[in-house]
Amino acid sequence: MKGHFNVAHQPAASLGHLWHDASGLVLRWFELHRQRDELARLSDATLHDLGLSRADIQQEADRHFWEDPLRK
């Protein structure tokens, strides 16, 4: 029928979409955690070169893994 769609196929597509979104989010969280750990290990000289203080880095490193500055 014109304009009719089969709802039997929607749950699978929706689950696939949800799985893709969830796995992407978990990967992003791992990446944020890795980056924050790497920042925390930078030397004071490197931080100075970047114009950052140890307090700036500590504040960022102390954030929760799900706190993504790109998703406000």
pLDDT digits (tens, 9 = 90+) for 31-54: 999 999 999 999 999 999 999 999
Tens of pLDDT along 15-25?
888 998 899 99
Under 8 Å between Cβ of 34 and 40: no
User: What's the pLDDT tens digit per position in 1-17?
Assistant: 566 555 555 566 688 88
Please tell me the pTM assigned to this model.
0.66
